[in-house]
Amino acid sequence: MKLKRNPFWKRVLIDIITINVLLLPAVLLRFLATPFKRGFYCDDEAIRYPFKNNTVTAVCLILLATVGPLTTFLVVEKLRIMLNQTKRDEKPIFWFEVYKYSVYYLIGLAISTSITFVCKFSTGRLRPHFIAICDPNITCVVDKYEYIFDYECRNQNLSAVDEARQSFMSGHSSIICFAVIFLILYLHLRINWKSVENIKIVIQTLLLLISICVAVSRINDNWHHWDDVVIGCLQGSILAFITVFFISDLKGEEEEEETLSRSP
C-alpha cells in the first residue's frame, strides 16, 4: 500500500529495475558464458609477456567507481544547498538530488559495463600474458608463421584461462574513464560560483590523473594491449558524455538556473 501512496518509491523501484536490466548482459556473460576461443601465431610476441598481479585490483576499482562519485555528490549537493546556488523559491531536497545523480551515474555505468563485457566475450582477444597462463600443449616453431587454432591449455584453472581471453576492451579503463569524465562534467555543471573555480580545476585535474594512472597500469601489468586501453578509455568517456547530456538533466538544470539568475 505504501508503494502506491508514495510516487517516489515507484521511481526507486523503476530505477532499480532499469539499472539491473542494463547490467544483466554483463552478469550473464560473466557467470554463464565462455569467451570466444581464438587461435594465435607462434611468433606473436605480444601474448608472451609474464603474468603479473593487478596494481589496481577489482575491489580497488569498485571503490573508486562507487565511493568516489557518491562522496562527490554528497559534498557538492550539500554545498549547493548551503550557498543556495539554485536561486529558486524552494531549496532542492538534498537526498533527492544525491539520489537522482547517483541513479543517472549508475545507469551510464551499467551501459558501459555491459558494452565492455559483450566486446570481451565476443572477440576473445588474448591478453599479453596468455601463453604464461594457458601453457598450450603445442611446440611452437618461432620462425614458422603458422596460425595455431587446434590446441588445449595445460593449465587446469579454467577461470584463469577464460580470463586470459578477455583482453579487448579494458574494463578498468572504461569504468574509470566513465567515472572520471562523468564527475568532471558534473563538477563543471553543478559548481558555478567563482570563489572556488581554481579548486574545481585542481580537483578535475586530479581526477583525470587518476584515470590515466589506472589505465596505464593495465599495460604495465601485462593485462592489456595498448589499444585495448585506448578503446576502453574512449568508450567510457563517450558514455559519460552521453549520460550527462542525453540521459541526465544536468545540462537542462544548468540552463534553467542561468535563465532564472538573469530574470529580474
- Listed in sequence order, the DSSP H helices in 164-225 are 171-190, 197-220
CB 236 within 8 A of CB 173: yes
The yes-or-no verdict on residue 7 having pLDDT over 90 is no
DSSP H helical segments within the chain, as ranges? Answer: 2-5, 7-32, 58-83, 94-123, 130-134, 158-163, 171-190, 197-220, 226-242, 250-262
Indicate the pLDDT class of residue 264, thresholds 50, 70 and 90: very low
Higher-confidence position of 253 and 250: 250
The Cα 167–Cα 5 span in angstroms is 49
Rounded CA-CA distance 147/40 in Å is 6
Of the listed ranges 135-149, 167-181, 193-207, 227-241, the one predicted with least confidence: 135-149
Q: Is 172 a catalytic residue?
A: yes
pLDDT at position 92: 59
- pLDDT, residue 174, reads 98
Of 131-140, 227-236, 248-257, highest mean pLDDT: 227-236
Residue 2 has pLDDT above 60, yes or no: no
Cα 197 to Cα 199: distance, rounded to the nearest angstrom: 5
Whether the CB-CB separation of 146 and 41 falls below 8 Å is answered with: yes
Task: Record the pTM.
Answer: 0.90
Q: Report yes or no: 152 and 197 within 8 Å, Cβ to Cβ.
A: no
Residue 142: Cβ within 10 Å count: 11
Percent of the chain with pLDDT over 70: 88
- With beta carbons less than 8 A apart as the criterion, state whether 186 and 204 touch: no
Catalytic residue check, 188? no
What is the pLDDT, as a whole number, of residue 205? 97
129, 172, 188, 225: which one is catalytic?
Answer: 172
Catalytic residue among 129, 188, 224, 225: 224
Question: What secondary structure letter does DSSP report for 195?
Answer: G
Share of the chain above pLDDT 90, in %: 73
Which tens digit of pLDDT belongs to each residue from 27-83?
A: 999 999 999 999 999 889 999 999 999 999 999 999 999 999 999 999 999 888 887
